[in-house]
Structure 1
Amino acid sequence: MARKKLDTLTEQMFYVLLSLRQERHGYGVMQTITQRTQGRVSVGAGTLYALLERFEADGLIRRTRTEDNRKYYQLTGEGERVLLAEYKRIKQQAADMEAVLREEEGQ
């Protein structure tokens, strides 16, 4: 899934963690991702539940409750740290691309 124990995240991993900044159950996570990305990113149930299991084992999320057969999860402090690190990495990539484009325009 991720390289080197979550040094970088896949797009799906990023959006799962992003959606869990608020407590949600699995189906709510899938809906939130689809809505936030306007359908550009989707996460199937099998992928989602594998990620939730992995993130919980890695301490990035925690199960907050079970209600009506739905398990609810929320980001932990470590999960927030990983999410913000990925956000900074993505921003740096965009800044690098912008610099290259500016250099090419100047030629």
Structure 2
Amino acid sequence: MSKLRSLQEPSFLILTALAAAPQHGYGIITDVERISEGELRLRAGTLYAALDRLQAEGLIAEDREEIVDGRLRRYYRLTEDGGRRLTAEAARLQRNARTAVTRLRAHHIGGTA
């Protein structure tokens, strides 16, 4: 696999949310907020721009549509390419975090990590 640029945090968390199961927009917004422990609150405009970009990159796809209370609800799912990209990004972040913790411990910085 060629070297890919790292995912921005919102994209990483959207893919993470979709790794559990297909979800609609509001479900993704609430799941991302839960995953990030409230650190990231996506607005609808930001979410749908990210979904369009992730879909254009082949990382997610439309799963299905439903009408709920007279409104269209579109569900998105993680694609195989999206799963591979999320796996690679998670591994990259783990490597970086492991290096940071090792260096902090070596220099007794930051207490217990």
Alignment TM-score > 0.5, same fold: yes
Change (3 A) 1:92 1:6: same
Give the structure 2 partner of residue 36 of structure 1. 35
Q: Contact 1:12–1:42 (CA<8 Å) still a contact in 2?
A: no
Structure 2 length-normalised TM: 0.83
**Could you list the runs of 5+ residues in structure 1 that have no partner in the other structure?**
none
3-state SS of the aligned residue for 2:5?
coil
Give the structure 2 partner of residue 88 of structure 1. 91
Give yes or no for the alignment of 1:54 onto 2:53.
Answer: yes
Q: Contact 1:26–1:72 (CA<8 Å) still a contact in 2?
A: yes
Q: What is the CA deviation profile of residues 39-63 of structure 1, one whole-angstrom value per residue up to 9, with x for unaligned ones?
A: 1111111111011111111110110
Change (3 A) 1:29 1:6: farther
Aligned residue pairs: how many?
101
Identity of aligned residues (%): 40
Q: In structure 2, what residue type is equivalent to 1:48?
A: L
Structure 1 length-normalised TM: 0.88
Q: Structure 1 residue runs of 4+, over 6 Å off?
A: none
Aligned-residue Cα RMSD (Å) equals: 1.4
**Aligned to 1:103, which of 103, 106, 112?**
106
| CA–CA distance in structure 1, aligned partners of residues 88 and 31 of structure 2 | 21
Give yes or no for the alignment of 1:79 onto 2:82.
Answer: yes
Give the superposition deviation at 1:6.
5.3
**Could you list the runs of 5+ residues in structure 2 that have no partner in the other structure?**
109-113
Give the structure 1 partner of residue 10 of structure 2. 12
